[in-house]
Amino acid sequence: MSSGGTRAPSRANGHGDERTRLSGANASFKSERTDAKGGPSSSSQPGAAPFSAAGTAHKRSASGNARSVNQPADEARYEERRVTERTYEAHVERVRTTSPEKPQRRSVPADKRTSGLRRQKSSEWRPKEAAPESPKAPWSPEVTLLPRTSALLASRVSIPPLASTVPQAPQPAPLSELSLQVQEAAIVEDLLFVLMGYEGQYIRFAKGYDPNQERDRLSGPGFRILPGLDPSLHDLTKSMLKMATYYSALVAFGDVQSREDFGAVNHALCASVRRLLQDYLVMIAQLETQFLTSDTFTIHVLNIQTISTSQMMFQLYSLAQELLKRNALLDDESDEDDDDSSDDYDKVIERLTDGGDLLSGNVAGKKICKGGVVLGILTKRLGAMSGDPAARALLTSLLRDASRPYMVMLNEWLHHGAINDANSEFLIKEQKSIRRERLEQDYTDEYWERRYTIRDHDVPPQLDGVKDKVLLAGKYLNVVRECGGVDVSKVVADVPTSFDDGRFLDNVNNAYAHANESLMQLLLTTHALPARLRSMKHYFFLDPSDYFSYFLELGSSELRKPVKSVNTSKLQSLLDLVLRQPGSIVSLDPFKEDVKVEMNEVTLIKSLQRVVNITGIEQGEALQPLSSNQPTENDKNATGFTSLQLDYAVPFPVSLVISRKTVWRYQALFRYLLSLRYLESQLSATWQTQTRGVSWAHKGSNRALEIWKRRAWTLRARMLVFVQQLLYFCTAEVIEPNWTKFMTRLQPGDGDQEKKPALTRTVDELMQDHVDFLDTCLKECMLTNSKLLRIHSKLMQTCTIFAAYTNWLTRELEKSDPDLSGTARPSTMTPDQWRRFQASRAAARAPAASSSSRHESNFSRHLQILLDALNHYAATETVVLLSLCARLSTANQGTEYAGLRTDEDAA
């Protein structure tokens, strides 16, 4: 069969004497093969030469060369064949000279025509001898090498010219002039060439097929049979030509799909297809041997022996066509163009974001179907062909071979935490622009959530159920190696190499368990995560709060200033001094150096409302603190007390659990608790003023003034009860129980918790528990509901204004008390003047009384609205709010708003 590649072009170049000589045979081609062994004298007859040549030409070896039956007679037979060829050329030339295009030759007499023909033959015989010395043929095709491509195994031999493009090619004898048996012999020999991708003499490529066009080669050539073939042979031949189309298309598929940017999975698939095509060519060679040696080999035998191979080639062809359509190398549905263009744009942006090269890969073209997508297509077809044993065995073999390089990448990631994915076909994507070196200054959980992500559309079906474990196993190993400098990767000798291995899922689960155990051990033991969490509880949840009260006392002068005038460095020094104070619990904290003081000009309520009202934001951005350079409506009256917040420096890898988002949650709870503590201290100072002040303690004779003072006392007491009950609820009934649950999940068991780490739990579960704990605290503290935030803001504002106006009310009380300001009429004033003076002094007392009544009305009204809202949300969302509602109801009993539930108030 090795000569098949040279024989087909030679026939296109005009050396088709073997096929032409078949036209002179009228007997059975099997008898011709055995009887046509005459001597040189048989070549002298015009009709016998083709017959003899056909018989000798049919006896060929498997390599395509003539078989020598009698070795000593080889030279004689070679001379006989040369004489036969020369006789045939002379015969063809004679036919040309006597063609109807020259009618003047017909008037020549027969005797003269015969003598003239003999002279012409003798005159033409000599130029034929000298033709090789000075060739004048204008057409001389040459074989060239094609340019190199990234497909290392692609064919680089130039495409042979089509038979239709050969000028002045000698045409074979028409099929209609051949007998049925000779037709069958000619068609069988043509089929052996066509099945290898070459044109035959009677079977040519379809006129619309252009082998220079890649799309035509990938779709496979169509074939046409020259007219005159017997119908019984025509239909059978037509059905067998499909296999030739499959073969040519699969060869082109292997050349294209094995390019470098198509990935290792496609390369392995193409290698498996090439092995099957090699077996296919071996089968064609065996069929040719039977054709050349067996007298019983017919086209029906050829068809029967290629049926199973044709089905195999059809499965390969349909798979190749689906992959090529996915790669946009062949025409597909037009309704996917818009989606493809948007996907291409997203991939360009993603490549630039990851720090990749814009021109690498196939960015300029369409999408590339590779990696997990190819394995998914194979798996889907395998499921669809489960009822066909042959197709199932074929697709199983292809899936096994194609998954081998993918399993190499998977095992490298599972057991070493490394990604060797040059063509972006693995299900884990690494964003190389995120480096750990940046996290030491500005640590974020972006390293954890965005450095390694899953390509959701490229996950093989076999890994769809364990893709999260696959992601986390490699991430855990990376964190342990980068932060501890210890490589905990395991060297597993016997790992599964394909998806059909029974240990496939066990391999993933074991790798995940090992990586999780290593990282949990590092966090809980080496980096003392529980101790650090308790440290944050001391600072942000004011537990204990003795040190912080001392800090507020020392820094009160600085904290009373406007926020832009506060000296943060001075406050930081005072905090460090307080934290090192002997006798304090926090003085023994090993992490007290990580606490920092800072100012946030955005008020707590505005910051929380900004978070609550955000919808559709990308994950990781909703709970980020508002930067100071963003245009926000800052509180112009903000002071150091209302803007104070703490920050906490967390080293890597503890920053994966105590991330910036979780630190923001700690800060929000801290600012809320601080606002309650500060308001409690203001109301307590008001209580001291009202208790020790002479104007408040003196019992005057003016009954209206005494009633006003009692109402002010009552309002201050109600406000203090409201603040204290709210503070107790947030700390004792929300934070402390949730903290206990969180630490129980972190370290189950009694005794020394740090010696009993919960290694059976995963790091991501720990991270999620931490976030859930903080989110639950925020929700139950009413900091995630916009309506409750608005009501709470109005109540806090009313209490703050009342506490700030206490000194002014004291001065007004001193002026309004007749016992303190004097009630005797001066002798210089007439009784009429005295009455007018008393009226003006009473009018001056009116603003103080009205201000106090307004504060009382606003507080009572908004408190009742809060109670109604708490009842509603306790019944629908958070049950724990019922206890707060019961506690706060005591602060509103006996008022005109108690129990009021109107639409006007609820608005």
Radius of gyration of the chain (CA): 48
What is the structure's pLDDT at 761?
Answer: 76
- At 313-325, the pLDDT tens digits run 999 999 999 999 9
- If pLDDT is split at 50, 70 and 90, which confidence band does 848 have? low
> Closest Cα to residue 795, out of 719, 704, 706?
719
683-691: long-range contacts, CB 8 A cutoff, minimum separation 24? 683/716, 683/719, 683/720, 683/723, 683/799, 683/803, 684/720, 685/803, 685/806, 686/716, 686/802, 686/803, 686/806, 687/716, 687/717, 687/720, 689/806, 689/807, 689/810, 690/716, 690/806
What is the structure's pLDDT at 814?
Answer: 58
CB 254 within 8 A of CB 269: no
> Closest Cα to residue 738, out of 849, 880, 836, 623?
880
Q: Which residue has the higher pLDDT, 419 or 624?
A: 419
Q: Which residue has the higher pLDDT, 181 or 844?
A: 181
- At 426-436, the pLDDT tens digits run 999 988 777 66
How far apart are the C-alpha atoms of 496 and 499, rounded to whole Å?
Answer: 8
CB 518 within 8 A of CB 480: yes
Neighbouring-strand partners of residue 145: 157
User: Region 141-170: what's the mean pLDDT?
Assistant: 75
Which of these ranges, 3-12, 260-269, 484-493, 724-733, has the smallest mean pLDDT?
A: 3-12
Q: Which residue has the higher pLDDT, 334 or 401?
A: 401
User: Region 474-485: what's the mean pLDDT?
Assistant: 81
Q: Which residue has the higher pLDDT, 749 or 563?
A: 563
Q: Any idea how long the chain is?
A: 907
- pTM over the 0.85 mark: no
CB 691 within 8 A of CB 698: no
What is the structure's pLDDT at 106?
Answer: 39
Cβ within 8 Å of residue 510, ≥6 positions away: none
- For 214, counting Cβ atoms within 10 Å of its Cβ (0-12 exposed, 13-18 middle, 19+ buried), the class is middle
| % pLDDT > 70, the chain | 66
How far apart are the C-alpha atoms of 491 and 412, rounded to whole Å?
Answer: 10
Listed ranges 20-24, 105-109, 828-832, 841-845; the one with the highest mean pLDDT: 828-832
Listed ranges 404-408, 688-692, 754-758, 847-851; the one with the highest mean pLDDT: 404-408
DSSP, residue by residue, 699-738: --S-HHHHHHHHHHHHHHHHHHHHHHHHHHIIIIIIIHHH
- At 18-30, the pLDDT tens digits run 333 333 333 333 4
Q: Which residue has the higher pLDDT, 567 or 135?
A: 567
Angle of helix 736-746 versus helix 529-540 axis, rounded to 10: 170
Give the burial string for 847-872 (b: 16+ CB within 10 Å, else e): ebbebbeebbebbbbbbbbbbbbbbe
- At 283-293, the pLDDT tens digits run 999 999 999 99
Which H or E run includes 647? Answer: strand 644-648
Which H or E run includes 599? Answer: strand 595-599
**């309002």: which residue's tokens?**
715
CB 402 within 8 A of CB 272: yes
- If pLDDT is split at 50, 70 and 90, which confidence band does 804 have? confident
Listed ranges 135-139, 421-425, 502-506, 533-537; the one with the highest mean pLDDT: 533-537
CA angle 121, 122, 127 (to 5 degrees): 90
pLDDT of 816 > 70? The answer is no
307-312: long-range contacts, CB 8 A cutoff, minimum separation 24? 308/390, 309/243, 309/280, 309/283, 310/240, 310/242, 310/243, 310/246, 311/390, 311/391, 312/276, 312/390, 312/394
Neighbouring-strand partners of residue 647: 596
Q: Which residue has the higher pLDDT, 141 or 625?
A: 141
pLDDT of 588 > 80? The answer is yes
What is the structure's pLDDT at 309?
Answer: 95
How far apart are the C-alpha atoms of 816 and 905, rounded to whole Å?
Answer: 34
Mean pLDDT of the residues in the chain:
75
Give the burial string for 430-463 (b: 16+ CB within 10 Å, else e): bbeebeeeebeeebbbbbbbbbbeebeebbbbbb
CB 458 within 8 A of CB 369: no
What is the structure's pLDDT at 93?
Answer: 45
DSSP, residue by residue, 37-101: ---GGGGGSTTHHHHHHHHHHH-B-TTSSBP-SSGGGHHHHHHHHHHHHHHHHHHHHHHHHTSTT
Neighbours of 421 (CB within 10 A): 19
Token duo for residue 92? 């063809």
Is the Cα dihedral 861, 867, 870, 871 positive or negative? negative
What is the structure's pLDDT at 614?
Answer: 59
Q: Which residue has the higher pLDDT, 574 or 145?
A: 574
What is the structure's pLDDT at 613?
Answer: 72
- If pLDDT is split at 50, 70 and 90, which confidence band does 726 have? very high
- At 383-419, the pLDDT tens digits run 999 899 999 999 999 999 999 999 999 999 998 888 8
Q: Which three-class secondary structure string do you get for 375-407? A: HHHHHHHHHHCCCCHHHHHHHHHHHHHHHHHHH
CB 571 within 8 A of CB 558: yes
CB 862 within 8 A of CB 795: yes
How far apart are the C-alpha atoms of 314 and 572, rounded to whole Å?
Answer: 77
Cβ within 8 Å of residue 283, ≥6 positions away: 305, 306, 309
Taking the alpha carbons at both ends of the chain, their separation in whole angstroms is: 92
> Closest Cα to residue 530, out of 657, 651, 439, 444?
657
Which of these ranges, 38-52, 76-90, 296-310, 461-475, has the smallest mean pLDDT?
A: 38-52
Distances (CA, A) of 142 to 136, 161, 320: 16, 10, 31
**């208790």: which residue's tokens?**
691
- If pLDDT is split at 50, 70 and 90, which confidence band does 723 have? very high
Which of these ranges, 238-247, 762-771, 801-810, 880-889, has the smallest mean pLDDT?
A: 801-810
pLDDT of 355 > 80? The answer is no
Neighbouring-strand partners of residue 646: 597
Q: Which residue has the higher pLDDT, 30 or 610?
A: 610
| % pLDDT > 90, the chain | 31
How far apart are the C-alpha atoms of 532 and 536, rounded to whole Å?
Answer: 6
Q: Which residue has the higher pLDDT, 431 or 646?
A: 646
- At 849-897, the pLDDT tens digits run 566 677 788 888 888 899 999 999 999 888 889 889 888 888 777 666 6
What is the structure's pLDDT at 676?
Answer: 93
Which of these ranges, 40-54, 197-211, 273-287, 327-341, has the smallest mean pLDDT?
A: 40-54
What is the structure's pLDDT at 157?
Answer: 76
pLDDT of 798 > 70? The answer is yes
